[in-house]
Structure 1
Amino acid sequence: MLVSAGLAVGASIVVPLVMQRVVDGPVRHHDQNGLIWFGLAALALGALEAFMVFLRRWTQSYASLSMEADVRDDLYAHMQKLPLTFHDRWQSGQLLSRAITDIGSLRRFLSFGVIYLIVNVCQYIVVVVLLIRLYPPLGALVALSAVPLFLISRQFAKRFLRVSRQVQDAQGDLATYVEESAHGIRAVKAFGRRHHMFTRFTANADKVYQLAVQRARLDSRFAPLYELIPNLSLAVIIVVGAVAVVQHHMTLGQLVAFATLQMGLVWPVESLGWILASGQEAMTAADRIYDVFDTEPTVVDRPGAIDLRRDQLRGAVRFSDVRFSYPGSDTPVLSGIDLDIAPGETMALVGVTGSGKTTAVSLVPRLYDVTGGRITIDGHDVRDCTLDSLRRNVATAFEEPILFSMSVRENLALGRPDATDDDLAEALRVAQADFVYELPWGLDTRVGEQGLSLSGGQRQRLALARAVVSRPKVLVLDDPLSALDVNTEALVEEALERVLAGTTALLVVHRPSTVALADRVALLEDGRITAVGTHSELLATVPSYRAVLSAEADDRPDLLPEGKGVAAR
Structure 2
Amino acid sequence: MPSDTSAVAAQQDSETSSHQPRFHRLHALWRLRSYLRPYVGRLIFMLFAALAGVGASLAIPLVIREIIDGPIAHRDSKGLVLLGLLAIFLGVTEAFLILVRRWIQSRAVLGLETKIRDDLYEHLQRLPMAFHGGWQSGQLLSRATTDLSVIRRFLGFGLLFLITNVVQLTTVTVLLLRMYWPLGLVVAASAVPIIMLSLRFEKRYIRISRQVQDEQGDLATVIEESAVGIRAIKSFGRRHYIFDIFDEGARQVYATSMEKVRLSSRFWTFLGFVPNVTLAIVLLLGAVAVGWGSLTLGTLVAFTTLMLQLVWPIASLGHILAMAQEAMTAAERVMEVLDTKPTITSGSLELANPKGHLRFEGVSFRFPDDDTDVLRDVWLDVRPGETVAIVGATGSGKTTLTALVPRLFDVTGGRITIDGHDIRDLTLPCLRSIVATAFEEPTLFSMSVRENLTLGRPDATDEEIREALEVAQATFVYDLPWGLDTRIGEQGMALSGGQRQRLALARAVLTKPKILVLDDTLSALDVETEALVEQALRHVLESATGIVVAHRASTVLLADKVALLQNGTITHVGTHHELLEKVPQYRELLAQDADLDAEEVLS
The one-letter amino acid paired with 1:413 is: T
Cα drift, residue 560 of structure 1: 9.9
- The one-character-per-residue Cα deviations of 1:149-177 (angstroms, maximum 9, x if unpaired) are 11111111111111111111111111111
Q: Among the aligned pairs, what percent are the same residue?
A: 59
Q: Which residue does the alignment assign to 2:243?
A: 198
Q: Which of structure 1's runs of 4+ aligned residues deviate more than 4 A?
A: 558-562
Cα drift, residue 371 of structure 1: 0.6
Q: For the residues of structure 2 that align with 1:184 and 1:457, how far apart are their CA atoms?
A: 17
Give the alignment partner of residue 66 of structure 2, picking from 18, 21, 24: 21
- The one-character-per-residue Cα deviations of 1:128-157 (angstroms, maximum 9, x if unpaired) are 011111111111221222211111111111
1:109-120 alignment to 2 at 5 Å?
Answer: 109-120=154-165
Q: Which residue does the alignment assign to 1:156?
A: 201
Cα drift, residue 237 of structure 1: 1.1
Give the alignment partner of residue 179 of structure 1, picking from 197, 211, 224: 224
The one-letter amino acid paired with 1:256 is: V
1:484-499 alignment to 2 at 5 Å?
Answer: 484-499=525-540
Q: For the residues of structure 2 that align with 1:28 and 1:86, how far apart are their CA atoms?
A: 76
Give the alignment partner of residue 581 of structure 2, picking from 540, 552, 558: 540
Q: For the residues of structure 2 that align with 1:515 and 1:170, how far apart are their CA atoms?
A: 48
Q: Residue 502 of structure 1: SS of its match in structure 2?
A: coil
Q: Is 136-145 or 477-486 further displaced after alignment? A: 136-145
Q: Residue 185 of structure 2: SS of its match in structure 1?
A: helix
Give the alignment partner of residue 402 of structure 1, picking from 416, 437, 443: 443
The one-letter amino acid paired with 2:508 is: A
- 2:121 counterpart of 1:82: no
Give the alignment partner of residue 557 of structure 1, picking from 578, 587, 596: 596
The one-letter amino acid paired with 2:88 is: L
Q: For the residues of structure 1 that align with 2:80 and 2:551, how far apart are their CA atoms?
A: 94
- 2:349 counterpart of 1:306: yes
Give the alignment partner of residue 152 of structure 2, picking from 93, 107, 114: 107
Q: For the residues of structure 1 that align with 2:191 and 2:591, how far apart are their CA atoms?
A: 82
Q: Are the equivalent residues in 2 in contact too, given 1:514–1:561 (CA < 8 A)?
A: no
The alignment's C-alpha RMSD in Å is 1.3
Q: Which residue does the alignment assign to 1:326?
A: 367
- The one-character-per-residue Cα deviations of 1:50-90 (angstroms, maximum 9, x if unpaired) are 01100111111111111111111111001000000011111
Q: Which residue does the alignment assign to 1:382?
A: 423
Q: For the residues of structure 1 that align with 2:597 and 2:164, how far apart are their CA atoms?
A: 79
Q: Which residue does the alignment assign to 1:448?
A: 489
- 2:183 counterpart of 1:138: yes
Q: Are the equivalent residues in 2 in contact too, given 1:511–1:559 (CA < 8 A)?
A: no
The one-letter amino acid paired with 2:160 is: I
Q: Are the equivalent residues in 1 in contact too, given 2:198–2:318 (CA < 8 A)?
A: yes
The one-letter amino acid paired with 1:492 is: V
- The one-character-per-residue Cα deviations of 1:321-375 (angstroms, maximum 9, x if unpaired) are 1110000000100111111110111111111111111111111110001111110
Q: Which residue does the alignment assign to 1:129?
A: 174
Q: For the residues of structure 2 that align with 1:526 and 1:557, how far apart are their CA atoms?
A: 24
1:519-538 alignment to 2 at 5 Å?
Answer: 519-538=560-579
Q: Which residue does the alignment assign to 1:353?
A: 394
Q: Are the equivalent residues in 2 in contact too, given 1:358–1:478 (CA < 8 A)?
A: yes
Q: Which residue does the alignment assign to 2:520?
A: 479
Q: Which residue does the alignment assign to 2:9?
A: none
Q: For the residues of structure 2 that align with 1:79 and 1:548, how far apart are their CA atoms?
A: 39
- 2:271 counterpart of 1:226: yes
Change (3 A) 1:40 1:130: same
Q: Which residue does the alignment assign to 1:565?
A: none
Q: Are the equivalent residues in 1 in contact too, given 2:365–2:413 (CA < 8 A)?
A: yes
Q: Which residue does the alignment assign to 2:143?
A: 98
Cα drift, residue 558 of structure 1: 7.9
Give the alignment partner of residue 416 of structure 1, picking from 447, 454, 457: 457
The one-letter amino acid paired with 1:87 is: H
Change (3 A) 1:315 1:525: same
Q: For the residues of structure 1 that align with 2:190 and 2:419, how far apart are their CA atoms?
A: 77
Aligned residues: 558
Change (3 A) 1:506 1:140: same
Q: Which residue does the alignment assign to 1:291?
A: 336
Q: Residue 416 of structure 2: SS of its match in structure 1?
A: strand
Q: For the residues of structure 1 that align with 2:449 and 2:323, how far apart are their CA atoms?
A: 44
Q: For the residues of structure 1 that align with 2:337 and 2:198, how far apart are their CA atoms?
A: 30
The one-letter amino acid paired with 1:206 is: R
The one-letter amino acid paired with 2:595 is: R
Q: Which residue does the alignment assign to 2:10?
A: none
Cα drift, residue 308 of structure 1: 2.7
The one-letter amino acid paired with 1:111 is: G
Cα drift, residue 281 of structure 1: 1.5
- The one-character-per-residue Cα deviations of 1:460-518 (angstroms, maximum 9, x if unpaired) are 00000000000111111101000000000000000000011010111111222111110
The one-letter amino acid paired with 2:496 is: S
Q: For the residues of structure 1 that align with 2:596 and 2:591, how far apart are their CA atoms?
A: 10
Cα drift, residue 557 of structure 1: 2.1
- 2:482 counterpart of 1:431: no
Q: Are the equivalent residues in 1 in contact too, given 2:398–2:565 (CA < 8 A)?
A: yes
Cα drift, residue 13 of structure 1: 0.4
The one-letter amino acid paired with 2:376 is: S
Q: Residue 299 of structure 1: SS of its match in structure 2?
A: coil
Q: Residue 592 of structure 2: SS of its match in structure 1?
A: helix
Q: Are the equivalent residues in 2 in contact too, given 1:226–1:269 (CA < 8 A)?
A: yes
Q: Are the equivalent residues in 2 in contact too, given 1:350–1:509 (CA < 8 A)?
A: yes
Change (3 A) 1:559 1:154: farther
Change (3 A) 1:25 1:482: same
- 2:558 counterpart of 1:517: yes
Cα drift, residue 284 of structure 1: 1.6
Q: Are the equivalent residues in 1 in contact too, given 2:356–2:434 (CA < 8 A)?
A: no
Q: Which residue does the alignment assign to 1:245?
A: 290
Q: Which residue does the alignment assign to 1:393?
A: 434
Q: Is 55-64 or 285-294 further displaced after alignment? A: 285-294
Give the alignment partner of residue 465 of structure 1, picking from 506, 521, 524: 506
Q: Are the equivalent residues in 2 in contact too, given 1:346–1:506 (CA < 8 A)?
A: yes
Cα drift, residue 559 of structure 1: 12
Change (3 A) 1:77 1:155: same
The one-letter amino acid paired with 2:302 is: A
Q: Are the equivalent residues in 2 in contact too, given 1:512–1:560 (CA < 8 A)?
A: no
1:17-96 alignment to 2 at 5 Å?
Answer: 17-96=62-141
- 2:305 counterpart of 1:264: no
Q: For the residues of structure 2 that align with 1:433 and 1:558, how far apart are their CA atoms?
A: 30
Q: Are the equivalent residues in 1 in contact too, given 2:49–2:98 (CA < 8 A)?
A: yes
- The one-character-per-residue Cα deviations of 1:19-38 (angstroms, maximum 9, x if unpaired) are 11111111111111001110
The one-letter amino acid paired with 1:301 is: S
Q: Give the TM-score normalised by the residue count of structure 2.
A: 0.91
What runs of 5+ residues in structure 1 fail to find an aligned partner?
A: 563-567
Q: For the residues of structure 1 that align with 2:581 and 2:548, how far apart are their CA atoms?
A: 21
Q: Which residue does the alignment assign to 1:216?
A: 261
The one-letter amino acid paired with 1:306 is: L
Q: For the residues of structure 2 that align with 1:379 and 1:183, how far apart are their CA atoms?
A: 42
Q: Residue 484 of structure 1: SS of its match in structure 2?
A: coil
What runs of 5+ residues in structure 2 fail to find an aligned partner?
A: 1-45
Q: Are the equivalent residues in 2 in contact too, given 1:513–1:559 (CA < 8 A)?
A: no
Q: For the residues of structure 1 that align with 2:589 and 2:344, how far apart are their CA atoms?
A: 33
Q: Which residue does the alignment assign to 1:364?
A: 405
Q: Are the equivalent residues in 1 in contact too, given 2:553–2:596 (CA < 8 A)?
A: no
